[in-house]
Chains A and B, each alone.
Chain A
């Protein structure tokens, strides 16, 4: 705050400037008949008479030639001061002499002259005494006698009777009273200059209320400065908050705001971040501050002009306006010199949020800086930070966009490579691998010498791997190794190059590269991974002996490696392939249960081995162990199936069934063990023939009753569902009834969506459409990954369509198309969607749906025939028969099995030719249909015959038909 201190010194000198406007004119000597009005003679004439000196001095003083005036006064006093007859004249000269020094800012001489003036006997008039004491204080201030100055100024204040400030007549007689407010402020300034900051702050706080608004504002600014100097930040903040609502009225608004910025910065440094925010958010932008102050300056200048234009106006008002104009002008000038005010302010605010790990807030502020502020070094550095902040909270699109803006705005910045690197990383995380590859590539090409070039080269290779562009990835890693063999990422590049070969199925080459890696990096971080990959590649090459050897070595040398379970599975497979069954089983058995996926894979591979080895008891025990140990596994049903299989092999069908029933009873009431639902279809297959089926159903009925009695709702629900499934073909009505009954027991949040789907279907089919639709919606709501979503979307879409809610239906059909894969309902739903689009005159959309249907492997033949027919119909509607014909023709060329569609296609094709005025083709087409004996009964055939006759009848036989063509 050195600048402010300089301003304070200026304030001290302010008093001096006051004199220019308001010092009293030198009193006419009251005792000087000798002083005449002779014209002024040369100021430097050494041979002047006393009279001449006196008159001259007064004239020079009036003209504002203070140095010359002072010289004349001083000469008079030196030459005649001791003469008794000159005493009265000398006394009269003391005041103007003092004022000359004040005007000249020669404060030491002024102080002496004031002391002489005040010591005259008889004393000077009261109005002159008042002036002199004021200036005595100012001189002391300038002489750094702050304590003395303060006392003098306090004495000055006592020279005016209470209430006289409001008395215009008094002010006319004693004009020094106009300096009272200035004196009050100067007393505080003395305290400030004396570094008594706490006292100064208290002083200003005390006097503020009694000052006119302009001076109140000045006192406020000084108070804030004092508080900051006193280290009383909290009090300073209170002041800022209290003043904020009327801040616009402060004359020195810019100074106030700059001090507030200083306060905010201090809080920031002390990590009192919220207090920093309070201060920083109360600071206006530079533009707004300047606009405000410039408007104020214009207003003040206008008022000053008005005051000056009025000859009868109050001179002190003119003086005050003049002072205010110069203050505001100076403030504006100084403020305009501050570079990057806005960006510095915003960056501080962003830093405060970043300090609290509030990356969203800091990023939003810096984003506005980047987008709105003119480029400067602060904006540049903040923008780099911005990209990092967006990355921190994983807002990849924002990070990418900020990086792009940065590069556009600061193309010459040394941070461009870093920003591009961050952009590429964000693109990669955003799964836009191709963009990431392009960005990393651009970085390496444009900034090959940057520290980020090698990193970008590496990341380019890695992104290529993620994009499954393995060959290019290998090339990128090879380029890295060639260009940057000593770089810290060279080891990673060497490893990932080998991975690239493995992923590219070049297993032998991958092994060679991994060997190179292992040779080169004896303490490398990827040694375990490389060893595993080598064994994996050997296994892929069916070199089991090598893979067995290497996998054993891997497990021995890297016991805690994350690939351990996977290695055991691979090793087990290799050993089994080599017929080393027991070792293979031991390898699988060594997989940790914590690694669920590989553990279960190992369990069932062991089971398979026992089966192959015909060790059924071991198989049974192994599966029972798994069932008991992992009841919630989705593969429990598979384990029970294996147990039952062993019993059936042993000819004990009852025992096989019992194991299912036992598992159902044991786990059937736990909705989270969904594999229970898989047991029923398998169990039902163990009941063969009508009699056993009846037994199965009866037992399910019993199970349901028992479950209800025991309040086991989930088990009861499952029993009902299983009964319904068993009756689906033989008694669909009863099946539906059971499922509708089951609806009351279903809990949408926990029940297996497989059951929910069947229940929903049954509800709709039973006329309980609303309940059914609700269940479908709940199914989708609570099971976003359910394989039954296709059924749900289809049912919901078709139901909405049936109810005439076309928009809602289209919404469900869109979701069906977007969110389901490999559904057998695909053709049906796409047809429904296309028909709906067609009725809404959305022909392009309808055609797109139908083309998708035609390209889908799950669409049936009739659905494809219908789709072709519909596309043809749409073109006909659009008046494009030439485009319709090929679609109709594709039906009878490619889908001849679906005769109803074939008949329609022939007829419409003929009609299309007629529209095209191609009567020959039309006749041929009609004729072809009429000649097909097995189509004779079709209505379309009759119509074709009519049209054929109308066009002139059948053609001679030798001409080929369009279909044949």
Chain B
């Protein structure tokens, strides 16, 4: 039930022109595998609930000069006849996606617009493109773009055929939630996601944002209530914020300790809380963690500077050292 019309021939020429504009890197052709066992190769141009539209190149007309522009025709193929589609590879597009920065936002947006309709179609690259586009929107730092990203990721998550893209879109959506001020809600989903995706990035970021918020609120509370210890109405809130900030700052260090940068960043945040509350011994302990466990990080350098500036009573007080000394003092099994 293929149809070929004059109009589709015109479209074919238009397509050719469009293809010419990308002449440097010709687009790969798509293959439709039919239920009959046949294959149909061309460039997919659209679809609706019933049909796919495929641009196919036609043989040169009899007597056409060598090198004459090829002629294209659009054929419509009922969707029921198609078993699956193998979308043509496009190295140029893949490279663009891989190397895209927020400066290419407009270009990637155009690409997304082009592929957007194919999002639910199995094996289409639309989800990949959408994820990159969403990522760029977030990286642009524009709050309006963050909102756009939120909607985009939600759509990919819902409509994409590809499970990998769905997971990536979920991560993206959670990052967008964090960027749009819904970190708390994001943490709940991110915790569940981290368990299945093995990528704790979103969870770590969401927790960090919450930690920073608690840290900020704590500092504000204590600035407004410098004598909080005398105020029974402030004490519970101070403890809540203090514990919340510390627990959240320590989270990546304790649960994703091999994620060096975020773990070190969190530890330095905890050290900051301890310094702020005057718990210098605790601040020194976490600073020693930083220096020993994450020596190459910028936070370790800051921690070292802090440790260097400590008075001797804090410099000499090292819980790990004490534990070692106690251990060496205690009788060994063979001494018993």
Partner of A271, one of B198, B224, B227, B327: B327
Name the residue on B nearest A353 (C-beta). Answer: B254
B106 interface residue per 8 A CB criterion:
no
B40 interface residue per 8 A CB criterion:
no
* Residues in chain A near residue B250, CB distance under 8 A: 360-361, 364
- Inter-chain contact B319/A357, CB cutoff 8 Å: yes
Partner of B227, one of A277, A357, A783: A783
B258 interface residue per 8 A CB criterion:
yes
A288 interface residue per 8 A CB criterion:
yes
Given A277-B257, A278-B293, A784-B227, the answer on whether A358 and B327 have CB atoms closer than 8 Å is no
Partner of A273, one of B224, B225, B226, B323: B323
Whole-angstrom distance between the alpha carbons of A272 and B320 in the complex? 7
Binds A, one of B11-19, B83-91, B229-237: B229-237
* Residues in chain A near residue B228, CB distance under 8 A: 784
B288 interface residue per 8 A CB criterion:
yes
* Residues in chain A near residue B254, CB distance under 8 A: 349, 361, 364-365
* Residues in chain A near residue B285, CB distance under 8 A: 356, 358
- Inter-chain contact A784/B327, CB cutoff 8 Å: no
B159 interface residue per 8 A CB criterion:
no
- Inter-chain contact A782/B257, CB cutoff 8 Å: no
Whole-angstrom distance between the alpha carbons of A282 and B263 in the complex? 12
Partner of B289, one of A274, A349, A815: A274
Q: Distance in Å from the Cβ of B198 to the closest Cβ of chain A?
A: 6
Given A288-B198, A356-B285, A356-B320, the answer on whether A784 and B231 have CB atoms closer than 8 Å is yes
Task: Give the residues from 247 to 265 in chain B that come closer than 8 angstroms, CB to CB, to chain A.
Answer: 247, 250-251, 254-255, 257-258
- Inter-chain contact B230/A784, CB cutoff 8 Å: yes
* Residues in chain A near residue B225, CB distance under 8 A: 781, 784
B246 interface residue per 8 A CB criterion:
yes
**Interface size classification for chain A:** 20 to 34
- Inter-chain contact A355/B226, CB cutoff 8 Å: no
Whole-angstrom distance between the alpha carbons of A356 and B197 in the complex? 33
Partner of B231, one of A273, A288, A785: A785
Query: Which of A274, A356, A368 is the most central at the interface, judged by chain B CB atoms within 10 Å of its CB?
Result: A356
B104 interface residue per 8 A CB criterion:
no
A819 interface residue per 8 A CB criterion:
yes
Partner of B257, one of A281, A784, A785, A815: A281
* Residues in chain B near residue A274, CB distance under 8 A: 288-289, 292-293, 320
- Inter-chain contact A282/B327, CB cutoff 8 Å: no
Task: Give the residues from 317 to 336 in chain B that come closer than 8 angstroms, CB to CB, to chain A.
Answer: 319-320, 323-324, 326-327
* Residues in chain B near residue A364, CB distance under 8 A: 247, 250-251, 254
Whole-angstrom distance between the alpha carbons of A355 and B255 in the complex? 18
Q: A288-317 vs B: 1/0 string, CB under 8 Å?
A: 100100000000000000000000000000
Name the residue on B nearest A781 (C-beta). Answer: B224
Q: Distance in Å from the Cβ of A665 to the closest Cβ of chain B?
A: 30
- Inter-chain contact B320/A355, CB cutoff 8 Å: yes
B81 interface residue per 8 A CB criterion:
no
* Residues in chain A near residue B233, CB distance under 8 A: 784, 815, 818-819
Partner of A368, one of B234, B243, B255: B255
Whole-angstrom distance between the alpha carbons of A224 and B326 in the complex? 29
Given A244-B258, A818-B233, the answer on whether A782 and B323 have CB atoms closer than 8 Å is no
Task: Give the residues from 179 to 212 in chain B that come closer than 8 angstroms, CB to CB, to chain A.
Answer: 198
Q: Distance in Å from the Cβ of B280 to the closest Cβ of chain A?
A: 15
Task: Give the residues from 335 to 367 in chain A that come closer than 8 angstroms, CB to CB, to chain B.
Answer: 349, 355-358, 360-361, 364-365
- Inter-chain contact B320/A273, CB cutoff 8 Å: yes
Whole-angstrom distance between the alpha carbons of A94 and B301 in the complex? 68
Whole-angstrom distance between the alpha carbons of A278 and B327 in the complex? 20
Q: Distance in Å from the Cβ of B17 to the closest Cβ of chain A?
A: 43
- Inter-chain contact B257/A282, CB cutoff 8 Å: yes
Whole-angstrom distance between the alpha carbons of A270 and B226 in the complex? 43
* Residues in chain B near residue A275, CB distance under 8 A: 292
Whole-angstrom distance between the alpha carbons of A108 and B129 in the complex? 64
Given A278-B293, A281-B258, A784-B230, the answer on whether A358 and B319 have CB atoms closer than 8 Å is yes
Given A278-B293, A282-B257, A782-B227, the answer on whether A395 and B323 have CB atoms closer than 8 Å is no
* Residues in chain B near residue A272, CB distance under 8 A: 320, 324
Query: Which of A358, A782, A783 is the most central at the interface, judged by chain B CB atoms within 10 Å of its CB?
Result: A358
Whole-angstrom distance between the alpha carbons of A365 and B289 in the complex? 16
Name the residue on B nearest A275 (C-beta). Answer: B292
Q: Distance in Å from the Cβ of B58 to the closest Cβ of chain A?
A: 38
Name the residue on B nearest A395 (C-beta). Answer: B243
Q: A770-786 vs B: 1/0 string, CB under 8 Å?
A: 00000000000111110
Partner of B320, one of A244, A271, A278, A783: A271
Q: Distance in Å from the Cβ of B317 to the closest Cβ of chain A?
A: 11
Given A361-B250, A784-B227, the answer on whether A277 and B293 have CB atoms closer than 8 Å is yes
Partner of B258, one of A273, A282, A355, A365: A282
Task: Give the residues from 30 to 44 in chain B that come closer than 8 angstroms, CB to CB, to chain A.
Answer: none
Whole-angstrom distance between the alpha carbons of A277 and B254 in the complex? 9
* Residues in chain B near residue A783, CB distance under 8 A: 227
Name the residue on A nearest B234 (C-beta). Answer: A784
* Residues in chain B near residue A368, CB distance under 8 A: 255
Whole-angstrom distance between the alpha carbons of A818 and B234 in the complex? 12
Whole-angstrom distance between the alpha carbons of A243 and B289 in the complex? 21
* Residues in chain B near residue A270, CB distance under 8 A: 324, 327
Whole-angstrom distance between the alpha carbons of A244 and B246 in the complex? 27
Whole-angstrom distance between the alpha carbons of A315 and B78 in the complex? 47
* Residues in chain B near residue A281, CB distance under 8 A: 257-258, 293
Name the residue on B nearest A784 (C-beta). Answer: B231
Q: Distance in Å from the Cβ of B176 to the closest Cβ of chain A?
A: 27
Given A282-B257, A818-B233, the answer on whether A782 and B293 have CB atoms closer than 8 Å is no
Name the residue on B nearest A280 (C-beta). Answer: B257
* Residues in chain B near residue A781, CB distance under 8 A: 224-227
* Residues in chain A near residue B227, CB distance under 8 A: 781-784
Task: Give the residues from 135 to 165 in chain B that come closer than 8 angstroms, CB to CB, to chain A.
Answer: none
Whole-angstrom distance between the alpha carbons of A10 and B43 in the complex? 57
Partner of A360, one of B224, B246, B258: B246
Q: A407-433 vs B: 1/0 string, CB under 8 Å?
A: 000000000000000000000000000
With A271-B323, A282-B257, A784-B230 known, 12 other A-B pairs at CB within 8 A are A270-B324, A271-B327, A275-B292, A277-B257, A278-B293, A356-B323, A358-B319, A360-B246, A361-B250, A365-B255, A782-B227, A784-B225
Q: Which residues of A contact B (CB under 8 A)?
A: 244, 270-275, 277-278, 281-282, 288, 291, 349, 355-358, 360-361, 364-365, 368, 395, 781-785, 815, 818-819
Sampled A-B contacts (6; CB under 8 Å):
A273-B323, A360-B246, A364-B254, A368-B255, A781-B226, A785-B231
Q: Which residues of B contact A (CB under 8 A)?
A: 198, 224-228, 230-231, 233-234, 243, 246-247, 250-251, 254-255, 257-258, 285, 288-289, 292-293, 319-320, 323-324, 326-327
Q: What are the 3 tightest A-B residue pairs by CB atom distance, in nearest-first order?
A: A281-B257, A784-B231, A356-B319
